[in-house]
Structure 1
């Protein structure tokens, strides 16, 4: 596909439960609060977690009379016809139309992908400027990137997902001479140091070096995210419970996302409006 005016952030990983949708939604709301124009696309036709997050937010805002930033959002369903070729053509058309509707009107387009391989997921990866891959802080979850030697932890075979990303990067380089900035994000980091955590970090560092990507710290495991999802809120939104907003967990989660945005090295163009007041 032709390149868009917006900077495209794809959040991808072929393993469920890594925090893709939570990460994608928090990135979108953070950038909106900072004054940037943001659109979002959910290509996970099965789970639709990102879309549920957006719907929960809109319903909560209407119920409470709140005025909070919301991205322009699209949910793209998979085609289920008998012909794979026709299905892929239909999915390409709907994907192209969604991107074309916003490409010149937003600063950032954030795409959330499913935890399995689909045509829409591959299309999304091919469009990425920045690819964010959240990985749980567990050696088991690293199999989504590579098969590891059980004794040394050294990658011995590239996974299906890593091959998908490498193909997308090669195609992107051939089309416009640009590459996809691939960032592995350690999510659900344990609050306590451990031998396993150190081994995960060392193994990810090896994988990043092998695949030509970067590594960044993500978000610790926090109960707060489970309570925010049903109302579509993020750690950047004002919450009615002042004690919750002032809690160390809430403040730490905000700072972790700020640190993640800084680590992504996103192009932050001139804002088209003044940023809204972010929670401290």
Structure 2
């Protein structure tokens, strides 16, 4: 069966689509077939990134890897139960089709709750939750006492992940590997950075995720979007790397290693 990777949280601007795109590029370069679903049905940032990639390949006459994509749409049924049943059927059909053709399926979720997103979380073998490295985004995972910094309890999103885990267990599936990805890490050892790190580590023991470093804030990530390229593609384009770009490529490699995806141990 295909290994399902879900990038999800309920806040926008945390790097979900950038993470999904670079994971796709790394997995495809390792020789695996990749399927893709973009469940942000309004913005479709992940699929727009892939559209830009296909357009760049046509303009330049290159052959660039692309995943097998299936587009889903929201149900227009007025009854909520019937609408969810219809979306559940469409989601199951799409996942089954990608499972037959692909080694990995990457699902990018919206920055808000939706029934599609809930189903994706319950389907995840690896769940990646990118958060910006701040106390504002930590609120996505848990409530914190502003005076003491003590974690008071899990957030609505963490409760949703727990529910997804319960559904997987009931279906006899292996537990999800939940990874919290610290994005936009500061290079300065600031008090806020230490406070976020301590809170993340404390909460990880209570609700069962592991923390890995993600991507620093770099202009190159925004610049590559229009051409649909990733840091892993730039050397093939004759791009001159700066020290910052080399460091960013290493962040990608470190992330792939930390995720410990099946068959990807020697990818680099």
TM-score (norm 1): 0.91
1:227-246 → structure 2 map (5 Å cutoff)? 227-238=223-234, 242=238, 244-246=239-241
In 2, are the aligned partners of 1:185 and 1:218 still within 8 Å (CA)?
Answer: yes
Matched residue pairs, number? 268
3-state DSSP of counterpart to 1:16? coil
CA distance in 2, matches of 1:142, 1:10: 19
Compute the displacement of 1:239 (Å).
5.6
Task: Note if 1:254 corresponds to 2:249.
Answer: yes
CA distance in 1, matches of 2:42, 2:138: 23
In 1, are the aligned partners of 2:128 and 2:180 still within 8 Å (CA)?
Answer: yes
Give per-residue Cα distances to partners, 1:206-244, cap 9 Å, x unaligned: 1111111111000101000110001100000036874x5
Give per-residue Cα distances to partners, 1:16-51, cap 9 Å, x unaligned: 110000001100111101111111110111211001
CA distance in 2, matches of 1:135, 1:75: 26
In 2, are the aligned partners of 1:11 and 1:132 still within 8 Å (CA)?
Answer: yes
Structure 1 unaligned runs (5+)?
none
Tell me the equivalent position of 2:105: 109
In 2, are the aligned partners of 1:28 and 1:71 still within 8 Å (CA)?
Answer: yes
Compute the displacement of 1:152 (Å).
2.1
In 1, are the aligned partners of 2:257 and 2:265 still within 8 Å (CA)?
Answer: no
Q: More deviation in 186-195 or 244-253? A: 244-253
CA distance in 2, matches of 1:40, 1:240: 23
TM-score (norm 2): 0.95
Tell me the equivalent position of 2:258: 263
The two structures, once aligned, show a CA RMSD in angstroms of 1.8
Corresponding residue to 1:85 among 81, 97, 101: 81
Give per-residue Cα distances to partners, 1:31-74, cap 9 Å, x unaligned: 10111111111011121100100101001110111111111112
In 1, are the aligned partners of 2:36 and 2:107 still within 8 Å (CA)?
Answer: yes
Compute the displacement of 1:12 (Å).
0.5
3-state DSSP of counterpart to 1:207? helix
Corresponding residue to 1:48 among 44, 63, 73: 44
1:7-22 → structure 2 map (5 Å cutoff)? 7-22=3-18
In 2, are the aligned partners of 1:29 and 1:71 still within 8 Å (CA)?
Answer: no
Tell me the equivalent position of 1:119: 115
Compute the displacement of 1:269 (Å).
7.1
Structure 2 unaligned runs (5+)?
none
Alpha-carbon spacing, 1:240–1:261, altered in 2? closer, same or farther (3 Å):
closer
Tell me the equivalent position of 1:36: 32
Corresponding residue to 1:223 among 219, 225, 238: 219
CA distance in 1, matches of 2:141, 2:202: 11
Task: Note if 1:174 corresponds to 2:170.
Answer: yes
In 1, are the aligned partners of 2:6 and 2:107 still within 8 Å (CA)?
Answer: yes
Compute the displacement of 1:104 (Å).
2.6
In 2, are the aligned partners of 1:53 and 1:229 still within 8 Å (CA)?
Answer: yes
> Displaced runs of 4+ in structure 1, greater than 2 A?
238-242
In 1, are the aligned partners of 2:54 and 2:64 still within 8 Å (CA)?
Answer: no
Corresponding residue to 1:152 among 145, 148, 151: 148
3-state DSSP of counterpart to 2:92? helix
3-state DSSP of counterpart to 2:93? helix
